[in-house]
Structure 1
Amino acid sequence: MERIGFVGLGRMGLPMARNLARAGYQVLAWNRTPKEAAGLTLAPSPKEAAAAGVVITMLADNAATEAVLLEILEGLPAGGIHVAMSTLGVPYSQSLEARHRARGQLYLAAPVFGRPEAAERRELRIAAAGPEEALEKVWPLLETLGQEVYRVGNRPHLAHAVKLGGNFLIASMLEALAEAYVLVGKHGVDREAFYQVVRGFFRSPVYENYGRILLERRFSPPGFALRLGLKDVRLIAEAADTAETPLPLGHLLLDRLLSGVARGLGEEDWTALLKLVEAEAGLEG
């Protein structure tokens, strides 16, 4: 049985690790907060998880990844592979590549598109980038976790750029759809009727799934917390700044999500930005 290390058993990481175990891998899993996980072998530390030779990290952000990185670098053998499946900043991803190379290790980026329910059903979309030989080795793992896997380049940070670009589109869609719901609603249109038009005309799982969440106001428990959405939009702004790329819409989204956190919505789903749009239209309360 092939061994895989897995670091991060949050709302996304736990179902992903379990799917690997169900596929026949021995998963050596570690989480900052001890968590019982049937089917997984709990590792005492990130270092022990990395000693498997291939280790996946699925953590909240740059800081959470950095908090375990030294142990991963120490535990991963020469020629071992670290697969970062979190949403990370582009400059930070570039630094990870250099730090692994200095130790004779391989680093890949394979961030995922999808919410926890998609992770449960193995319906994630994955953007993968890194050295060809390492990608070939972990490709079966990625196909176990995702419905579709896209190869987007031979430098890991390219996958994180793709992920941030995709999240920029999702955040922009959320803002536009929330505003559209409020606009048509204030003219007396039933939101369910409008949703059916959107669902038919914009045939996309993103519009369909998020449109339904907004319609049903499923803000808690969060599939993706608004505070994490703010983190991602900050990473998008960082990527734009380092590439000298103006993002006017990105700054609007940054202010919108920052306002949501300031108003106490940080632990609700990021679709709760609908509440902010409604409040500005006089529908609060």
Structure 2
Amino acid sequence: MQSNQKIALIGLGKMGSAIAEKLLEAGLALVVFNRTQNKTEPLQKMGAQVADSIQSAVSDADIVFTSVIDDEALLSVSKEILAHAKKGAIHVSTSTILPNTAKELEAMHEDAGCIYIASPVLGIPKAVRAKKATTFCSGNQTAIKKIIPLLETYSAMVENMGGSISHANVFKVCMNYSLITAIELISELYVFAEKSGVDKAYIQGALKYMYSHPAVHVYIDKIYQRDFDQVNFDMKGGNKDVHLFQKAFLDAGVSPDLASVFESKVTEALANQMENKDWSAVSDVIRRRSGLE
């Protein structure tokens, strides 16, 4: 790690503050800026230099980290950064944003003679502080080689997704989407069990077992390979089960939202003569709806 690198970090919310702490703990000189100045105080005590503006934070920086809430905020902050950053400066964005926004930002930075790197973080601030986060990065490969040691100060794993700037954000969306569907699923199951008089502790234990179970891995691989002719459970059986799930939930006064989403795809699969395919072939319905077929 080059100790003479001049590093700035803009945005000291929970994630930005955690990342700043890890950079400082690694012995790196760091300039920080946040519009709410009191959030800089704990970092100043750790040795950070506090800037009074984005201009003063970035004008001499080789690498600028940003951690802001959304696409609009990142575009706005980036315009300020590019108005004052020196040529060749690397902007590392840790935010979860749209892939198309990443493309727009890359073009903006190229026009200004700077480099934009997408580097979203998978993990909560507590994971960052424990160096257990995962970071996905994509963009200019020479720049990524320079920043990987910095990303490793707060990440257990750094995944270089290659030169296409949007790929890290696509992957982050995939991971977060899987998380929200899991939250919805877990919530529905707990409510259904509770309303049916079953101790939720049984569901908790089963879910922890299920998500590490080889059966789940079978479907991860089957859908990846589109291996739907080797049938574990056919579409007709899936249709029966999804209706059973819906009725059981409704009988308990619980809305089976995920089952209803799944049912629409099973119905379409059956209408397209897929009754003898594995029920995971609903993946092909999603592909067709998305224009991949």
Letter in 1 for 2:211: F
Alpha-carbon shift at residue 47 of structure 1 (Å): 2.2
On the 8 A contact 1:49/1:75 being kept in 2, the answer is no
Letter in 1 for 2:129: E
Letter in 2 for 1:49: A
**Could you tell me which residue of structure 2 aligns to residue 30 of structure 1?**
33
Mapped to 2, the partners of 1:45 and 1:190 lie a distance apart of: 55
On the 8 A contact 1:56/1:83 being kept in 2, the answer is yes
**Could you tell me which residue of structure 1 aligns to residue 112 of structure 2?**
103
Matched, 1:164 2:177: no
Mapped to 2, the partners of 1:25 and 1:71 lie a distance apart of: 24
What does 1:28-107 align with in structure 2 at a 5 Å threshold?
28-34=31-37, 35=39, 36=41, 37=43, 38-39=45-46, 40-51=48-59, 52-107=61-116
Mapped to 2, the partners of 1:69 and 1:158 lie a distance apart of: 20
C-alpha distance after superposition, 1:251-271 (max 9, x if no partner): xxxxxxxxxxxxxxxxxxxxx
**Could you tell me which residue of structure 1 aligns to residue 21 of structure 2?**
18
Q: Secondary structure at the match of 1:29?
A: strand
C-alpha distance after superposition, 1:149-181 (max 9, x if no partner): 111120221111111111111111111111111
C-alpha distance after superposition, 1:224-272 (max 9, x if no partner): xxxxxxxxxxxxxxxxxxxxxxxxxxxxxxxxxxxxxxxxxxxxxxxxx
Gaps of 5+ in 2: 214-252, 256-293
Alpha-carbon shift at residue 26 of structure 1 (Å): 0.9
What's the TM-score once normalised by structure 2's chain length?
Answer: 0.67
Of structures 1 and 2, the one with the larger relative CO (CA 8 A, separation 6+) is 1
Q: Secondary structure at the match of 1:156?
A: coil
Letter in 1 for 2:30: V
Letter in 2 for 1:23: A
Letter in 1 for 2:58: A
What's the TM-score once normalised by structure 1's chain length?
Answer: 0.69
**Could you tell me which residue of structure 1 aligns to residue 6 of structure 2?**
3
Alpha-carbon shift at residue 113 of structure 1 (Å): 0.7
**Could you tell me which residue of structure 1 aligns to residue 155 of structure 2?**
146
Q: Secondary structure at the match of 2:106?
A: helix
On the 8 A contact 2:75/2:105 being kept in 1, the answer is no
Mapped to 2, the partners of 1:59 and 1:77 lie a distance apart of: 21
Alpha-carbon shift at residue 75 of structure 1 (Å): 2.4
CA RMSD of aligned residues (A): 1.8
**Could you tell me which residue of structure 2 aligns to residue 264 of structure 1?**
none
Mapped to 2, the partners of 1:16 and 1:64 lie a distance apart of: 18
Q: Secondary structure at the match of 1:189?
A: coil
Letter in 2 for 1:281: V
Q: Equivalent pairs: percent with the same residue?
A: 32
C-alpha distance after superposition, 1:206-226 (max 9, x if no partner): xxxxxxxxxxxxxxxxxxxxx
Matched, 1:202 2:211: yes
Q: Secondary structure at the match of 1:56?
A: strand
Alpha-carbon shift at residue 21 of structure 1 (Å): 0.4
Runs ≥4 residues deviating over 3 A: none
Letter in 1 for 2:67: M
On the 8 A contact 1:5/1:29 being kept in 2, the answer is yes
Alpha-carbon shift at residue 63 of structure 1 (Å): 1.6
Q: Secondary structure at the match of 2:7?
A: strand
Alpha-carbon shift at residue 186 of structure 1 (Å): 1.9
Mapped to 2, the partners of 1:50 and 1:60 lie a distance apart of: 19
